[in-house]
Amino acid sequence: MVNAYRVIACAAALACVATLAKAAQYDSPKALLMQAIDAPDGKASGEIVGPVAERFRQATGSSAPVLAEVSTIKSFQQEGCKRLQLRLRQGDVTDKEGRRGEIAFTYDFNLCRDGTPPTEGMDLGRVSEVLRSRDLAR
């Protein structure tokens, strides 16, 4: 009888852990990118919901959750600026041959906490020239 109580207790504990392990939900990947900039390990992950996820589902034909993972590739010298990699993935997608599997898209961003790109490595003189030439062309 003691073993039955242990089994029930273990099952209840696992159910609690599974509930707590559910991914946080985000309306867009932007919040995850910002979270990764400040995370001690440079990572953030969660489920994308709302209009972005719905567009994903319409394109893939899958009702599976759209998951996002962000990792830091590089930290710039400029405070709060990083090179981040965003990976969006969704399971249960049918390919052209009719096989079901996961689809994933990976994007890299140079991003600062304020939403701008880092200036490190930018030729600001050249940027200024390009902007002036665009103004003259109008």
* Distance between CA atoms of residues 22 and 52, nearest Å: 19
pLDDT at 20: 39
Other beta carbons within 10 Å of 43: 15
- Give CA separation, 138 vs 1, 32, 39, 129, in Å: 84, 37, 43, 15
pLDDT at 14: 44
Question: How many Å from the N-terminal Cα to the C-terminal Cα in the chain?
Answer: 84
pLDDT at 132: 78
Per-block average pLDDT, block size 10, for the chain (138 residues)? 47 42 88 97 98 95 97 96 98 94 96 94 74 69
pLDDT at 6: 52
Q: What is the DSSP letter of 75?
A: E
Closest CA to 53 of 98, 23, 83, 95: 23
